A and B are shown apart, each in its own frame.
Chain A
Amino acid sequence: MLGEGILKGLAETAKNFAGSFVSKERMTTVEYPEERLPLPEASRNFPFLVYDGTDWEAGLRCVACQICEKECPPKCIYIDKSKDKKPDHVGKMQIYPTKFDIDISICMSCQICVEVCPFEAIKMDSEYELATDDRFGGLLLDRHQLAKPNEYYHKIHPTEAAEVDARLAEEKVKADAKAKAAAAAPKPAAVPAAKPAIVASSVASPKEGEAG
């Protein structure tokens, strides 16, 4: 009969209308600022720098090799390499970036920097509330803003972070074995001993420079 379908449809919407007051499960709305859906683990938007330990500056895994800067398709990464070396979180002397800026207004979230980094130092973040009232300075993140602890990485991408940690540990074991083998060989023993001495004298100066 004509009009049957209309009545059926009206019944359906009426059911929805009444049901929305009774059962919470019907509602599809997420009231965003108050409640948020958990992000999928694979979500990513902009890169950040991973550091180990507690001190963000000393713990940065980045050694300013500048591969990411060269590979970045839209050229949104800017790195200044340090002239000296500083001990990283395990005390090993490393070159470090005096400046590491990412302009996220240019970044296209391609993850190429992450793919090319040999030190697992740059990873993709999933932070999305980046709105700012300054579209130039506010979106240009410096290395302090970019630095986030390894624990944070574990929190947002647990599986990936575990893999990375395993890989790093493996590399460390290999490196240790190599170092042991090198230490066993008598000849180059004097060289590592000399290096820290040179660097130690100049540790203070870049820190002051950065504070200013």
Chain B
Amino acid sequence: MVTTVDQIFVILQHWFVGYLPAILQPFAGVLLNVVAIVVTFPALFAIAVLLERKGLGRMQNRIGPNRVGPYGILQPVADGLKSLTKEDIVPFRADGVVHFMAPVVLVVVVFMGFAVLPMGRNMTLVHMDSALLFYFSMGACTELAIFMAGWASRNKYSLLGAMRAVAQMISYEVPLLMSSVAVVMITGSLSLDKIVEAQNHYTWGLPHWYIFTPWGLLGFLMFAVAATAETNRSPFDLPEGESELVAGYFTEYSGFKFAEFFLGEYVGMLSISGLGATLFLGGWSAPLEILGFMPSWFWFFAKIMLSICVFIWLRGTLPRLRQDQLMNFAWKFVLPMTLLNLFVAGLWRFLGDGWVRWVVCSAILVLAYVFVGRAEMHRKHYGPRSYRYAE
């Protein structure tokens, strides 16, 4: 019974595909998986938007949307219908083809990332030897989509937003990769399935997730920071800072194309949450051994939604960073810490089992955190700022 519930989607897929002629079966199986992903994550996107609007409201002592449906739960439906029925305006001077391509590229690339995420036991769309590399290469393509959107709009705000977004995403991609490399070093594989398997065993009923190791904890924190910046979320939402850039790179988009950008942003959040959960939080494995009877996909999606809640919480709390602060933070704090983390992960691997590695690794990381952090905080003045005006 437990296995049936756990494997319900796999069984359903086999049952459905079984009705088709043999030639079509592999093709139909893949298509069915793709359809499932393309349906599930926009649904989660709707839930995430609702959660965000209600949650942010509560954090600011407001009620949030409560008009459409009971307690406002149908608000995403209303938003969706609105964006579908709005006029699609393309600026007169815009570069038509690139302007049209940008949201399409973004959404396609963002959805590609889900192909390698293990969403439950036996629930990976493509089993790939270098799955993590695939994920990051898809993530790198979103920058291009954003640049295309900003450039093709022929709007200064769009272009500025795009430039900011691309600069920020390139800067934070490095720590994002570096913090994931620690996991790869310990697991010895780029395959996300193997990474989950490596974390899916228990001692005294507690899981062996990587976040419960010194390097894993720091790696997870740095990954979370970089992921927040990578998805252009507050407090790193300079590219779409409303007070300066209207809406950043998608200022000149309306109607369904705007909805596509919105979708891309949130699905990107869901996807990077999924990756973070896979790398550090044990993917689809249960948080306690006695909870193993619950289906594996439940845990995966629970972890995703939990990290979405943290994203919302951060957005409700932190003010937006300035551009130089953003870059300083990336290159002078996050990157050195992830590099040190790589070293510590190596130590952890070669110090062998026992309490020695716990003490040594924790001591190095805590000391580094305290000292680097103190050095960062004591640099009160950043020196005179010079500007170069455009000729």
Residues in A lying within 8 Å of B, measured CB to CB: 1-3, 6, 9-10, 12-14, 16-17, 19-21, 26-29, 31
B377 smallest CB distance to A (angstroms): 6
A27: chain B residues within 8 A (beta carbon) = 61-63
How many angstroms between the C-alpha atoms of A100 and B352 in the bound complex?
A: 96
- 8 closest Cβ pairs, A-B complex: A2-B373, A9-B317, A13-B59, A20-B58, A13-B317, A17-B58, A29-B63, A26-B61
A2→B317 contact, CB < 8 A: no
A16→B60 contact, CB < 8 A: yes
A28: chain B residues within 8 A (beta carbon) = 61-62
B66: chain A residues within 8 A (beta carbon) = 31
B59→A17 contact, CB < 8 A: yes
A10 smallest CB distance to B (angstroms): 5
A14→B373 contact, CB < 8 A: no
B374: chain A residues within 8 A (beta carbon) = 1-2
B373→A3 contact, CB < 8 A: yes
Contact of B63 among A1, A12, A31 (CB under 8 A): A31
A3: chain B residues within 8 A (beta carbon) = 373
How many angstroms between the C-alpha atoms of A193 and B373 in the bound complex?
A: 99
B11-68 interface (Cβ within 8 A of A): 55, 58-63, 66
B contacts with A: majority SS: helix
List 12 contacting pairs A-B, 8 Å CB cutoff, sorted by A. Answer: A1-B370, A2-B373, A2-B374, A2-B377, A10-B313, A12-B317, A17-B55, A17-B59, A19-B61, A20-B58, A31-B63, A31-B66
Is B376 on the interface with A (CB-CB < 8 A)? Answer: yes
Q: Other CB < 8 Å A-B pairs besides A13-B59, A20-B62, 17 of them? A: A1-B370, A2-B369, A2-B372, A2-B377, A3-B373, A6-B317, A9-B317, A9-B318, A10-B314, A13-B316, A16-B59, A17-B58, A17-B59, A19-B61, A27-B62, A28-B61, A29-B62
B318: chain A residues within 8 A (beta carbon) = 6, 9
How many angstroms between the C-alpha atoms of A21 and B316 in the bound complex?
A: 17
A9: chain B residues within 8 A (beta carbon) = 317-318
How many angstroms between the C-alpha atoms of A2 and B373 in the bound complex?
A: 5
Question: Which interface residue of A1, A17, A21, A28 has the most chain B CB atoms within 10 A?
Answer: A17
How many angstroms between the C-alpha atoms of A6 and B373 in the bound complex?
A: 13
Per-position 1/0 for B226-265, Cβ under 8 A of A: 0000000000000000000000000000000000000000
A16: chain B residues within 8 A (beta carbon) = 58-61
User: Looking across the interface, which residue of chain A has its beta carbon closest to that of B370?
Assistant: A1
How many angstroms between the C-alpha atoms of A58 and B63 in the bound complex?
A: 49
B391 smallest CB distance to A (angstroms): 40
B347-391 interface (Cβ within 8 A of A): 369-370, 372-374, 376-377
User: Looking across the interface, which residue of chain A has its beta carbon closest to that of B221?
Assistant: A3
B376→A2 contact, CB < 8 A: yes
How many angstroms between the C-alpha atoms of A139 and B376 in the bound complex?
A: 62
A29: chain B residues within 8 A (beta carbon) = 62-63
A20→B61 contact, CB < 8 A: yes
B63: chain A residues within 8 A (beta carbon) = 27, 29, 31
Question: Which interface residue of A1, A2, A10, A26 has the most chain B CB atoms within 10 A?
Answer: A2
How many angstroms between the C-alpha atoms of A20 and B369 in the bound complex?
A: 35
B308 smallest CB distance to A (angstroms): 15
How many angstroms between the C-alpha atoms of A26 and B55 in the bound complex?
A: 15
Question: Which interface residue of A9, A13, A16 has the most chain B CB atoms within 10 A?
Answer: A13
B60: chain A residues within 8 A (beta carbon) = 16
A1: chain B residues within 8 A (beta carbon) = 370, 373-374
A17 smallest CB distance to B (angstroms): 5
Per-position 1/0 for B144-174, Cβ under 8 A of A: 0000000000000000000000000000000
B46 smallest CB distance to A (angstroms): 21
Contact of A13 among B62, B313, B373 (CB under 8 A): B313
